[in-house]
Homo-oligomer: A and B are copies of this chain.
Amino acid sequence: MHSRPQAVLQKDLQALLALLRDQIATSALHQRAREFTPYLGSGKMLRARLALRLGAANGVRPAVRHAAAAAVELIHAASLLHDDVIDGGLIRRGIPTFWKAYGTSGAILLGDLILFKAMHLIHATGQLPLLAEFIELSGVVCEAEAEQELIRRNKPPTWQQAVQIARRKTGALFACAAVTAGRNAAQKNALREAGYLVGTAYQIADDILDGSCNEHKAGKTLGTDHARGKTTAAVRSPAAARRHLASLSRNSTKLLNPWPRLQQAWQAYLDEDFLPVIHALLGD
């Protein structure tokens, strides 16, 4: 039997999947929906779950938390579409990557399109401060990725540089998911930073996995970071990286001390969604 928050989450996830399907169902592009599936709503949806769980716990209206969750998943999908072109990845969630099936051009253009679909969903909620967060934090992701590619490539990074890149390129979108649940400035600041911390932890785990080259576990092409000279956390020993990762997730919870209900939802997210994925990635 599900607890009440679990039941709400399951219902929210159904609504989210319907919303995601709607995004391409209305255009001529629905003909390409099958090959797009691995990018949208078939992954672990860690960012969407964050927005949904915390939003539900904090009384954010269903329509707003569904739109917020769909928008973070769309932005994430756009970045996967473009990253697969960039890294030359052949497999995503067990099936051929979109560029492999339809060419790099289609993958680039579809990625661009769904960025605007995400912005549209948020604008349509009427929550304009939320739209500002999405624009700002998505910009942080893009700037970090462009910097990693155009400036830092093939320069051995320090651990600190690697963590900073992880924070900006992955943490910022978790921050975006988390901030959607805030009802006032203090909550938003705490949630945004807590999101940054767990997102950084996620990227560090992903960097360790990429360094390990276990493609069966990952369901995607690995070893591409090292091959392309990217700035990643694989610079430090896996054991030290794991310790840092654990402290990031502990610290994220502490930030929500002033709001017990939010903190409880955050802890449930970590225990039931986030940490099981991290442990699976790391082979614990």
| Chain A residues proximal to chain B, CB less than 8 Å | 27-29, 31-32, 78-79, 82, 85-86, 102-106, 108-113, 115-117, 119-120, 123, 128, 131-132, 135-136, 138-139, 142-143, 145-147, 149-151
Within the complex, the shortest CB–CB distance from A20 to chain B, in Å, comes to 16
* Complex interface: chain B residues within 8 A of A117 (CB): 139
Nearest CB of chain B from residue A115's CB, rounded to whole Å: 6
- Identify the closest chain B residue to A152 (Cβ): B28
Besides the known contacts A79-B112, A109-B145, 7 further A-B residue pairs in the complex with CB atoms under 8 A apart: A28-B151, A85-B104, A105-B149, A109-B149, A113-B139, A115-B142, A120-B136
> How many copies of this chain does one complex carry?
2
A149 to B135, CA, bound (A): 27
A123 to B128, CA, bound (A): 9
Can you report 27 residue pairs joining A to B where beta carbons are below 8 Å apart? A79-B112, A82-B109, A82-B112, A86-B104, A86-B108, A86-B109, A105-B149, A106-B150, A109-B149, A110-B146, A110-B150, A112-B112, A112-B115, A112-B146, A113-B142, A113-B143, A115-B115, A115-B142, A116-B138, A116-B142, A119-B119, A119-B139, A120-B136, A120-B139, A123-B132, A123-B135, A131-B131
Dominant secondary structure of chain A at its interface with chain B: helix
Contacts of A120 in B (CB 8 A): 135-136, 139
In the bound complex, do residue B139 and residue A109 qualify as a contact, i.e. CB atoms below 8 Å apart?
Answer: no
How far, in angstroms, from A146 to B105 measured CA to CA in the complex? 8
Tell whether, in the assembled complex, residue B146 and residue A106 are in contact, meaning their CB atoms are under 8 Å apart: yes
C-alpha spacing A113/B141, complex, angstroms: 8
Is the CB–CB distance between B85 and A150 below 8 Å?
no
